[in-house]
Amino acid sequence: MGKSNAAATIWVNGVWFAYDGNQILHDISFEIPRGTFSALLGPNGAGKSTLLKVISGYLEPQRGQVLVCNQQVHSMKDKDRSRLITYVAPEYRSAFEFTVEEAVLMGRIAYSDSVVAQSQRDLKAAEHAMAATKILHLRHRPVTSLSSGEQQRVQIARAICQDPAVLLLDEPTAHLDMSFEIEIMEILTQLVREGRTVLAIFHDVNLALRYASTLFFMKQGRFVESIRPREISPEIIEKVYGAKSRIIADPHADIRYVVPYSIAKP
């Protein structure tokens, strides 16, 4: 990809990553503009979660560069990086009896020298985040007493409280019912409207088609397609997932949906 684009919030160039000699990512390059919602899609084992962890700074690539807001992610101090990027892991469930408010306030650790004391600014940030994710009424409840959907909203509230430029989410709607799923997607869409950049992994292609502005498809550790939702086609679905499908247009909205109907023959 060459020289970085100053307008890109996320810039990945020639990234390779391996676990114990097993190559997971192969020469990944792409860029994501500020204030956009991008989806990372592909079959199990494609390398999606590994890529997200590399971008977040949790994993360091053997080769290649990752810049976020024009800063070298893997050269930053942890606290500085956490002010810039937040990573929301899949299916997080706390084993500790933190209240919802305490869990959300953990997003402010990047701005404090103490994990105990909170400023008025921290408390206001937590209150705003809980209100945005509709969990303010749960603030005194133990996180362990919440449903999966409520716990997921707590994690997104913590991410909002952290006030990053970039949110990276690994399957933010996994195992949620339809109403919680829509709520989470609407929250993420609002964050993008506010100027944040969101990159999230999804298994549900149709959910990504409805909400994301760009879809990145991976397979076997490589990028195979980068498209706008209107560009989705049966050929792309077969190439990435090995499934035959039809593309259906919603007559009431400018949205397309994938309807798979059989496994493609090898």
Sequence ranges of the domains in the chain: 8-231, 232-266
Contact by Cβ (8 Å): 150, 103? no
Q: Can you tell me which residue has the tokens 């408390």? A: 123
Quick one: pLDDT at residue 86?
Answer: 94
Q: Looking at the predicted structure, is the pLDDT value of residue 159 above 70?
A: yes
Q: How sure is the predictor about 4, in pLDDT bands with cuts at 50, 70 and 90?
A: low
Per-residue tokens: 31: 């860029």
Q: Looking at the predicted structure, is the pLDDT value of residue 166 above 60?
A: yes
Average pLDDT of span 182-210? 94
Quick one: pLDDT at residue 10?
Answer: 95
Average pLDDT of span 205-231? 96
Quick one: pLDDT at residue 6?
Answer: 52
Q: How sure is the predictor about 115, in pLDDT bands with cuts at 50, 70 and 90?
A: low
pTM for this entry:
0.91
Q: Which segments within 141-242 are labelled E, that is strand? A: 166-170, 197-201, 214-219, 222-227
Average pLDDT of span 230-240? 96
Q: How sure is the predictor about 110, in pLDDT bands with cuts at 50, 70 and 90?
A: confident
Quick one: pLDDT at residue 263?
Answer: 83
Residue 160 CA: distances (Å) to CA of 133, 192, 210: 9, 12, 22
Q: Select the CATH number that applies to the domain covering 8-231 from these four: 3.40.190.10, 3.40.640.10, 3.40.50.300, 3.30.160.60.
A: 3.40.50.300
Among the listed ranges 47-56, 178-187, 230-239, which one has the minimum average pLDDT value? Answer: 178-187
Quick one: pLDDT at residue 113?
Answer: 65
Q: Looking at the predicted structure, is the pLDDT value of residue 74 above 90?
A: yes
Among the listed ranges 66-75, 105-114, 204-213, 243-252, which one has the minimum average pLDDT value? Answer: 105-114
CB proximity list for 102: less than 8 A, separation 6 or greater: none
